[in-house]
Amino acid sequence: MARSIETALQELGTALRALTDCDPTLTDLLDRIDRGDTGIPSRWADKLEGAIGLHNQLRDVAPKLAAEQQRLQRRGDDYRDRLRASENTARQLTETVSNERQRLSDLQIHVAAYQDDIQEQEQTIRELRAQLRAARRQSATVSEGFATSPTHLNPNTAAGQGRPSSDSGFSEGSTSTEPGERTRHRLAESLFREAVADFHSGDFRKADASFTQVQSIIAHLPAALRSAFGATELAYYRAVCQAETSSDAAAETALSNFLQTHNRASDAQKALVEHLLARTNVKLGRVEQAAGHSCAAVGLWYDIDQASEHYLNAVALLSRIYALRGELANAAAVINQAPAERRDYVRNKYADLRPSTTSTAARQPPTTTTIRPPVAAHSAQTAAAARPHIILPTRPAGPAIRPVVPAPSSLGSVTTSSSVASRRRRQARQLPWLFRAALT
């Protein structure tokens, strides 16, 4: 290719030089033709023929140059495509190398931890061997004493009891660190950080599996190392993960257990758990019970941060619960407590939430306090003692479901209606006063 381009350029240069040489002659010839002089010298005729021949050569060379230019353009495009592909491949390889370096770094950290563990175990082995040698020497001394002096058989003496002295390192008060405890502690910390990151990214199933591993590891650590992990915080993460991944019944149990056993949880943790518990109870068909938890969540989030998304979600759920109970005026009043620009969000957030038709709890027959207590994972007395502001329901409820009591007396009906109204008033007391003033 390079040779053909060079040849074409040489021919073009030769033709141009010939034209340059012929230029004065051609100019004179044209002048004479214009004056009507037809007597053209033979030498000019020869030069004219030469010029015509050069013109034909140029005309022949021009297509070759155009074709060569197009071919070079195509090859240039091909080289550019290959260059882009090479750059993409190089970028991918760079990312792969970076990932492998990160993995190598992690492996080096684990190897260093294992090396520390091995060194600790080797040191423990050396100490145990030294203690064993001392114990054997002590045993030999005691044996010699038995053979030479019967007074050593007195059971009240340490030697008579067959126990080595404190010099052997086996005294009753001595304790040794279990090999690998620091390694397991570091592993638990690493898993906990990964689980928290998965939790905040919304991967609750993976986070719950990691939190379970952390609980399993720290259960075998001494108290001094377990204290680095907050039991309440770990229980909170697990309860929320189970609420997002488990069945409604399992979620209700996990969330209720958290509220009953972790009174020192932060207000934000309690507020979110109350909200999730209200949502779960709606799915289970326990709308009355959900209302108590939802009122508690709104009251807590109102004091924590009224501009947060959690607060708006709590308000949206409470509005939906009022709608499911048929209290449309109260549902609209709750929505109006949200900022005007967020009311559409609040109105639509839980618009599709309703009791699940496949829930076991939703299919249970309705009950009242005059017949028998509701069947639940925890009794009403236990829940009331742990959370005084939570009022457990006496029956599942829905927008189109009413409890059916066989042949009640008029006095019994009045008592039941009065208890329901009293319970709802107690639930509403957990709300901010602006909400209470807006409710009918």
pLDDT in tens, 82-123: 999 999 999 999 988 988 988 888 888 888 888 877 887 888
**Inside any domain, residue 152:** no
User: Residue 403, by phi and psi: left (phi above 0), alpha (psi -120 to 50) or beta?
Assistant: beta
Residue 229 pLDDT = 81
pLDDT digits (tens, 9 = 90+) for 219-241: 888 887 877 788 899 999 999 99
Domain of 50 in residue numbering reads as: 2-116
Q: How far is CA 86 from CA 79, 81, 97, 326, in A?
A: 10, 9, 16, 66
**pLDDT at position 177 over 50:** no
Residue 323 pLDDT = 93
Query: CB 4: neighbour CB atoms within 10 A?
Result: 12
**Inside any domain, residue 93:** yes
Do the beta carbons of residue 397 and residue 321 sit within 8 Å? no
pLDDT digits (tens, 9 = 90+) for 29-81: 666 666 666 555 555 556 666 767 777 777 777 787 888 888 888 888 989 99
Residue 296 pLDDT = 92
Residue 300 pLDDT = 92
Instruction: Give, as one character, the DSSP assignment of residue 226.
Output: H
**pLDDT at position 440 over 90:** no
Beta bridge partners of 397: 286
Residue 39 pLDDT = 59
Long-range contacts of 146-153 (CB under 8 A, 24+ apart): none
More confident residue, 11 or 345: 345
Q: How far apart are CA 170 and CA 174, in angstroms?
A: 7
pLDDT confidence band for 153 (50 / 70 / 90): very low
| CB-count burial class (<10 Å; 0-12, 13-18, 19+) for 47 | middle
Q: Which of 140-144, 152-156, 267-271 is least confident?
A: 152-156
Q: How far apart are CA 24 and CA 22, in angstroms?
A: 6
Residues 6+ away with beta carbon under 8 Å from 8:
61, 64, 65, 68
Among positive and negative, which fits the CA dihedral 264, 265, 266, 270? Answer: negative
Q: How far apart are CA 318 and CA 304, in angstroms?
A: 17
Structure tokens at 401: 């479901």
Q: How far apart are CA 140 and CA 124, in angstroms?
A: 24
**pLDDT at position 401 over 90:** no
**Inside any domain, residue 20:** yes
**Inside any domain, residue 407:** no
Main-chain phi, psi angles of 398, to 5 degrees: -155, 175
Q: How far apart are CA 114 and CA 109, in angstroms?
A: 9
Q: How far apart are CA 253 and CA 247, in angstroms?
A: 10
Residue 380 pLDDT = 36
The total of structural domains in the chain comes to: 2
Q: How far apart are CA 51 and CA 35, in angstroms?
A: 22
Between helix 181-201 and helix 42-148 the angle, nearest 10°, is: 140
Out of 116, 132, 148, a domain closes at: 116
Cα R_g (the chain), whole angstroms = 46
Out of 116, 131, 163, a domain closes at: 116
Residue 106 pLDDT = 84
**Inside any domain, residue 173:** no
Residue 199 pLDDT = 93
**Inside any domain, residue 15:** yes
Grouping H, G, I as helix, E, B as strand and the rest as coil, residue 221 is: coil
Grouping H, G, I as helix, E, B as strand and the rest as coil, residue 292 is: helix
**pTM of the complete model:** 0.49
pLDDT digits (tens, 9 = 90+) for 9-35: 676 667 666 666 666 666 666 666 666
Out of 87, 116, 145, a domain closes at: 116
Do the beta carbons of residue 431 and residue 299 sit within 8 Å? yes
**Inside any domain, residue 167:** no
Main-chain phi, psi angles of 85, to 5 degrees: -60, -40
**Inside any domain, residue 96:** yes
Q: Residue 56 half-sphere exposure, CB side, CA atoms within 13 Å?
A: 6
**pLDDT at position 350 over 50:** yes
**Segment (H or E) for 118:** helix 42-148
Grouping H, G, I as helix, E, B as strand and the rest as coil, residue 372 is: coil
**pLDDT at position 168 over 70:** no
| Mean pLDDT value across residues 178-197 | 84
**pLDDT at position 188 over 80:** yes
